[in-house]
Amino acid sequence: MLARRLLSQVFEDHALTRGLGDAEARVLVEWLVEHAENLAASGIGEETARGAVGRFRRRARSISRFIALWCHFGEQGAAGQLAVAERFHWPMPDADADPCELMQAILGWEDQQLRESDSFGQCPYSAADIRSVVS
């Protein structure tokens, strides 16, 4: 039941995929669904899980906008400014990066950083909410 409520947050957020192609939108939604399901199965409270999913969604919307700016609109300068403002620490892609491959690389990098971070000090997510999701 909790999983369904968490997933509805993902499926009702149309801003997540605005400006993306089908392939990268699918990758992003699958990433969010996986994290929402893991949160639901982790046994944390509903409010805590909803807050964590909200933070994942906000991060996903920012990543989505970065991909759209970089790959679809050819606005690498604006994408770079967004990357700085959102504190994206992944390596900047090539100018001609494939949007789906870039999405996969970024989300893989995000997951790796969450797993490797002991303090979560620079992470946009709360350690208490997320630790069980990425283990």
Domain ranges in the chain? 2-130
CA distance 91 to 34: 24
The count of other CB atoms within 10 Å of the CB of residue 107 is: 22
Distance CA(13)–CA(67), nearest Å, equals 17
Distance CA 69, CA 79 (A): 5
In tens digits, what is the pLDDT along the chain, a chain of 135 residues? 678 888 888 888 889 999 999 999 999 999 999 999 888 888 888 899 899 999 999 999 999 999 999 999 999 999 999 999 999 999 999 999 999 999 999 999 999 988 887 533 333 455 444 444 444
CB proximity list for 90: less than 8 A, separation 6 or greater: 105, 106, 109, 110
| Of the candidates 86, 12, 22, the residue with the CA atom closest to the CA atom of residue 53 | 12
Closest listed residue to residue 18, CA positions, set 58, 65, 74, 81: 65
At CA 89, angle to CA 135 and CA 126, rounded to 5? 45
Which helix (H) or strand (E) element contains residue 94?
A: none
